[in-house]
Structure 1
């Protein structure tokens, strides 16, 4: 009984802290960019990505907070399986978009940092920043479309898995070969939504760090001990991308473990993973806001 009371208290405190913090941090990012848009300031490619990441984090934080309330107070009986099914789809859409936006941000920073003479890289460097709006819109549309196989790959007659951290329905795959084919397609598309952008982010991070290290080496050779303001900005950008990548990996690992192992809802492990998942949008908002000095400065100007 003491264990149950303690886990419930921790979960309630987590909801009270992470919900408002995540929404306020990410809404602040959105507010700064909307203020710029209202004043006629044109958005660069990184600004566009950060704005959409802020909106995505607000939606994800609201969803996780609502889902956390259902989980904590055992309100499953008030929702039918169709609602849980839609929630399942919405959750994986937002998390896939979460990872892809990090990938696009890392690509844009990589183009700013790296001076590679290869023809293909030069073409991408000239094309991607100019087409970032279309690329982001295409990413949202494609991620929405690839969720369609869920409806054929999973049995709509679902049982609620109430023993795990997330209110994720437990589906039984149909034995019909047609449903199995769609299941294989869904798994492949899910890998596209998560694994590919993680690899892209890691690759771009590697190129960006190599470029920074080369710059530091040149400074040492020239006996220069001062960093330019531009290089400091680039270094902070690399650190922000690295932290976002680490947070993405940690988040998906946490979700995967909590679903696969199906912890008892009153266990401390379940409570730990519950807290990590709810805090992830807040963590991303913190990284975006305090890893960008210009964004932080503009927010202070709005507040003051």
Structure 2
């Protein structure tokens, strides 16, 4: 095992451990909330599922990094490796779409429009979010499952664990699949994130003067909460763009037969799964208050 592999494995485990702590905290807060009230707001349900998806991503990548960097994949077997690759693709894509739906749910909550369709969505947001979650699960499963057909161990290779894609035999199919995967699980959710977040920002800007003229203590607090949400969503989008931009360029390199960048895409994924709960904690009042109660019980 090279020194670079040791450094990569250590860095990955530190990031994953950090992320697991925050994601477990997010889930505990909202599970306790559900236990008290027997219900969760649509955005709270989405954040809870995001944290669960992040935990699944991090657990999958713990196994991946150990097998990949320690060259233990032949002991696990090709079937296990296929399942692992599907799992580490499926969970992050779920989280990406949930982030987009979180932006959409907050847009429905904050923005006020008199459009008939908009009002219906606003009134039936819980049902709409449930349908979106089910649809997202099906979509991510359908686009993630084909990855198993591109994996095959090359036993005559000098490094079996790092040279397992059948790109040479299926180069065109691999490129098409990677492009479709990026479109349905990166580009489309990014568009939804940007449109929803810009809708919130524009709404707050247009109504800022009106809020200033009719300012009260409760109104000011309400406005501050909305501004905090807008900043949180923009930070999530920025983190997503950085991590997804890295992953997209690396995916194209893998599709062309360059396998030595696989660790980079894994690291970009775990950075997003570990960074997003921190942003959510800072931007969500309930999570932030729960965190401060732990720090200062009195």
User: TM-score surpassing 0.5?
Assistant: yes
Aligned residues: 289
Residue 208 (str. 1) matches residue 203 (str. 2): no
How many Å separate the matches in 2 of 1:219 and 1:172?
58
| 2:247 corresponds to which of 255, 274, 285 | 255
| 1:284 corresponds to which of 266, 270, 276 | 276
SS in 2 for 1:39: helix
What RMSD, in angstroms, separates the aligned Cα atoms of the two structures? 3.5
Higher RCO (CA 8 Å, separation ≥ 6 residues): 1
How many Å separate the matches in 2 of 1:275 and 1:162?
24
What corresponds to 2:232 in structure 1?
240
1:112-156 deviation digits (Å, cap 9, x = unpaired)? 2211222222222223334323431332233223444446xx455
How far 1:28 moved relative to its partner? 0.5
| 2:118 corresponds to which of 105, 108, 121 | 121
Q: Is the 8 A contact 1:65 1:278 kept in 2?
A: no
How many Å separate the matches in 2 of 1:223 and 1:33?
34
Query: Per the alignment, do residues 167 and 248 of structure 1 end up closer, same or farther by CA in structure 2, a change over 3 Å counting?
Result: farther
How many Å separate the matches in 2 of 1:162 and 1:99?
35
TM-score under structure 2 normalisation?
Answer: 0.81
**Which consecutive residues of structure 2, in runs of 5 or more, have no partner in the other structure?**
none
Q: Is the 8 A contact 1:19 1:278 kept in 2?
A: yes
Q: Is the 8 A contact 1:116 1:122 kept in 2?
A: yes
1:54-105 deviation digits (Å, cap 9, x = unpaired)? 1011111122222222333233332322222222222221122111101111
What corresponds to 2:45 in structure 1?
48
How many Å separate the matches in 2 of 1:71 and 1:186?
21
How many Å separate the matches in 1 of 2:193 and 2:210?
26
Q: Is the 8 A contact 1:61 1:278 kept in 2?
A: yes
**Which consecutive residues of structure 1, in runs of 5 or more, have no partner in the other structure?**
none
